[in-house]
Amino acid sequence: MREKTHRWQTDAMCIHIGLVNNMPDSALEATERQFRALLSEAASAEGIDVCLSLFALPEVPRSDIARCRIDASYSTVGELWNEPLDGLIVTGAEPAARNLTEEPYWAVLARLIDWAERNTHSTVWSCLAAHAAVLRLDAIERRRFESKLFGVFDCTRQIDHLLTAAIPPHIQIPHSRWNDVPSDKLSACNYQVLTRLQNGSVDAFVKQTKSLFVFLQGHPEYDADSLLLEYRRDIRRFLNKQTQRYPSMPHGYFDDDTVSAFTELSAQAVANRCEQCLANFPLQSFNVKRTWRPHAFQLYRNWLRYLFVQKSMSSGKRQKYNVNIGAPAASAGTLFEEVKA
């Protein structure tokens, strides 16, 4: 997989993808690495040439260190307006306002949503970006949970779709969010739910506009320790009195020994409320299997295949393409049967 950070010139059949990284400073570099690894692995499996370009919204608040990294490695989102992409990934951001339209970057994000509909074959909207996109497209307001949805959750596939080909009916996906979009509102506006949590909350969903918009409320791109680092950050905020409630442990994530260690830590932290408690944070004893990785890989493999097919058709190079990715022929093979030699 190739990388471009500014203006791009690629061959006709290279899939050009933009990553608009809005994640907090502490996760900025990790997010780059996570998506780069996923796309590289998926592209290699499919034999597709992918070129990745990094973009940033200038309105997202940044530290000086993060701003220097962005200045060195990213293009501003304004460089997109006259340059169509094959695919786009837009990450979430840590919410600062209860209403999305009050976020400092709302105006440019809204413009990006409009632009993506006209200038990509498909766009992936992750977490908060998914909430922003449905608000912009169909005025669907997110709703706040009483407590943070945080951990690794069992999800069930709801329909057969080209993006879920070869993905098992039951999977696990990490989630870290305070908000949700109502399932009934999505259905009323012709969104299709791909996967759903056991509590009824929607995990992934899509809508076909001029572009195929893919909405992920979870984080299939996460590393094994991503939730652990978020949990540590939230504990530090409690100890520094930035928040008043001690954070709940991530659901379905730790083994029994780690749960016991964190239960003891929480008792100490609530009693003493000093940052010294973090010295007992059990990083070394932490052990978790990244059960969601195979599903994340398959999702992005399917997505790259869709982009390849759409680019082939739009360029007039209707090439024969091998669609056997491990799914039954009746479900996966027919998804791309329109592409003929």
Name the DSSP letter for residue 166.
T
- Domain match, 234 and 331 both: no
- Domain match, 167 and 272 both: no
Distance of CA 120 to the CA centre of its chain: 17
- Domain match, 208 and 236 both: no
Say whether pLDDT at 337 is over 50. Answer: no
Q: How many CB atoms lie within 10 A of CB 103?
A: 20
Name the DSSP letter for residue 109.
H
The partner residues of 207 in beta bridges, in order of sequence, read 213
Say whether pLDDT at 155 is over 90. Answer: yes
Asked if the structure places residue 256 within a domain, the reply is: yes
- Domain match, 170 and 213 both: yes
| 251 phi/psi in degrees, rounded to 5 | -70, 140
- Domain match, 252 and 212 both: no
- Domain match, 188 and 137 both: yes
CA dihedral 315, 317, 320, 321 (to 10 degrees): -30
> Tens of pLDDT along 265-324?
999 999 989 888 888 787 766 778 899 999 999 999 999 999 999 999 887 654 433 333
Token digits of residue 324: 């056997």
- Domain match, 306 and 323 both: yes
Q: How many residues does the chain have?
A: 341
- Domain match, 197 and 237 both: no
> Tens of pLDDT along 46-87?
999 999 999 999 999 999 999 999 999 999 999 999 889 999
Say whether pLDDT at 158 is over 70. Answer: yes
- Report the C-alpha gap between 13 and 49 in whole angstroms: 7
Asked if the structure places residue 285 within a domain, the reply is: no
Per-position DSSP letters for 227-291, written without gaps between them: HHHHHHHHHHHHHTTS-SSPPPPPBTTS-HHHHHHHHHHHHHHHHH--GGGGGG--TTT-----T
- Domain match, 306 and 184 both: yes
Say whether pLDDT at 105 is over 90. Answer: yes
- Confidence class of residue 326 from pLDDT cuts 50, 70 and 90? very low
pLDDT of residue 216: 98
Asked if the structure places residue 341 within a domain, the reply is: no
| 59 phi/psi in degrees, rounded to 5 | -80, -10
> Would you please indicate which residues are annotated as catalytic (active-site) residues?
127, 219, 221
Burial 146-157 (b: 16+ CB within 10 A, else e): eebbbbbbebeb
CATH number at residue 326: 3.40.50.880
Q: Identify which of 104, 109, 108, 102 has the alpha carbon closest to the alpha carbon of residue 129.
A: 109
Q: Identify which of 135, 110, 126 has the alpha carbon closest to the alpha carbon of residue 176.
A: 126
For the chain, the first-to-last Cα distance in angstroms comes to 26
pLDDT of residue 285: 62
- Report the C-alpha gap between 121 and 311 in whole angstroms: 8
- Domain match, 141 and 192 both: yes
Q: Which residue has the higher pLDDT, 172 or 283?
A: 172
Task: Please give the tally of structural domains in the chain.
Answer: 2
Local structure of 315: helix, strand or coil: coil
pTM for the model stands at 0.90
pLDDT of residue 2: 60
Q: Identify which of 212, 218, 231 has the alpha carbon closest to the alpha carbon of residue 286.
A: 231
Asked if the structure places residue 169 within a domain, the reply is: yes
pLDDT of residue 323: 33
Look at 46-50, 224-228, 240-244, 287-291 and tell me which has the smallest mean pLDDT.
Answer: 287-291
Token digits of residue 119: 């200038």
Q: What is the 3-state secondary structure (H, E, C) of 181-231?
A: CCHHHHHHCCCEEEEEECCCCEEEEEEECCCEEEEECCCCCCCCCHHHHHH
Domain that holds residue 252: 226-280
Q: What is the mean pLDDT of the chain?
A: 88
Burial 195-230 (b: 16+ CB within 10 A, else e): bbbeeebbbbbbbeeebbbbbbbbbbbbbbebbbeb
> Tens of pLDDT along 115-132?
999 999 999 999 999 999
With residue 66 as reference, give the H or E element that holds it: helix 64-73
